[in-house]
Amino acid sequence: MIRTLAVSGYRSLRDLVLPLEQLTVVTGANGSGKTSLYRALRLLSEIAQGRLVASLAAEGGLTSVLWAGPERIGRDMREGRHPVQGTVRRGPVSLRLGFCDDRFGYALDLGMPSAENPFPLDPAIKREAMWTGGRLSHASLFADRRGGLVRLRGATDGAWKEAAHDLSPFDSMVTHCADPANGAELLALRERLRDWRFYDALRTDPAAPARRPQVMTYTPVLASDGADLSAAIATIRAIGDGEALDEAVDGAFPGSRLEVEPGAGLALRQHGLLRPLRPAELSDGTLRFLLLCAALLSPRPPELMVLNEPEASLHPDLMAPLARLLRRASRACRIVVVSHNAALIAAIGQEGESGEIRLERSFGETTAPGVEPPRWEWPKR
């Protein structure tokens, strides 16, 4: 389970290493870097889908996502004796992402493509490393990429073998060198990263996918747009924790109960109404809470689930039920919640232990004062 996240040179995250707990709340004022942190996690998982470079290109290319402040912020600059200004760059342009748990670590370093590359804004992968145990060292390194050259260390003899010598700067060794015979760990890493789940702005507007009629098929994972809500709820009922679902719904809307019929789909029976209401008829807040139930009570929990501002459009009364739901879901997977809602954060605190990361911006740079950064070393170029 991911324990440490490291980001450097990405938007306002100039240099940040953070511990992730079973349930972590990331908070901070507007512009402190919460969304950037959410996106950094998503970029890591996109490596495994072969979408990293395309994703960064969609954000405006390297020049736009790269830390826009000075390479180093000296003490004179921080104390105001020196204006914030660019200094002569000493190191290469670099955007780095990495994470580790107790068993493995992985890091990637992106830079400018070579001069002859026809797409000068696309980031190029300069370096990738994967290691065992908590710390990167010569001895713990077992998958190593420099430029186009990828080497893997044999599991039995410990000898380095070449896995690729001309890997494209836009392709990751995680997707291109993962084969069961030689790159089994890379394959395992790819599968893990692919499974990370992200929920951001689950739509509840009148045209929201969740409001449309749906085909009821086996759906252990709610789609990121919530389009298969009814089927996901039916699947929780069939093979998951239906009791937790009923408790969550009753806790949020006392006296209400979800009904799922194979032919008719989902409906919510509410106190005082003569007939149950279909998703198309539910209020925004009610629908959003049901979407969160479906996401969080997935019968196939991922290693990591990340939710960006799940409380949006929920009534303050729903913060405690939502906190309970998050807590319950965190028994089965690691959860990172990005939120600036004080009521939700307080409610999560009342449910028990959680990691709280409060982001602040200082000299344009996102910092996490009060959070002890775990040990972390970046692979060198």
| Chain contacts with ligand ADP (rule: CB under 6 A) | 11-12, 28, 30-36, 65-69, 364
Cα 220 to Cα 228: distance, rounded to the nearest angstrom: 10
Cα 130 to Cα 143: distance, rounded to the nearest angstrom: 5
The tokens 């670099």 sit on which residue?
Answer: 94
In terms of CB distance, is 28 or 98 closer to ligand ADP? 28
Q: Which does 140 bind (CB under 5 to 8 A by kind): Mg ion, ligand ADP, none?
A: none
Least distance from C-beta 26 to Mg ion, angstroms? 10
- Residue 35 binds Mg ion, judged by CB under 5 A: yes
Residues paired with residue 357 on neighbouring β-strands, in sequence order: 26
List CB contacts of 205: < 8 A, sequence separation 6 or more: 284
**How many CB atoms lie under 10 A from the CB of residue 20?**
23
In terms of CB distance, is 37 or 319 closer to ligand ADP? 37
Q: Which does 364 bind (CB under 5 to 8 A by kind): ligand ADP, Mg ion, none?
A: ligand ADP
Q: Which does 198 bind (CB under 5 to 8 A by kind): ligand ADP, Mg ion, none?
A: none
Candidates 333, 339, 325; CA nearest to 304 is 333
Least distance from C-beta 34 to Mg ion, angstroms? 5
In terms of CB distance, is 39 or 190 closer to Mg ion? 39
Least distance from C-beta 261 to ligand ADP, angstroms? 41
| DSSP codes of every residue in 282-331 | S-HHHHHHHHHHHHHT-SS--SEEEEESTTTT--GGGHHHHHHHHHHHTT
Least distance from C-beta 311 to Mg ion, angstroms? 13
Cα 19 to Cα 4: distance, rounded to the nearest angstrom: 5
Q: Which does 36 bind (CB under 5 to 8 A by kind): Mg ion, ligand ADP, none?
A: ligand ADP
Least distance from C-beta 339 to ligand ADP, angstroms? 10
- Residue 200 binds Mg ion, judged by CB under 5 A: no
Residues that bind Mg ion (CB under 5 A): 34-35
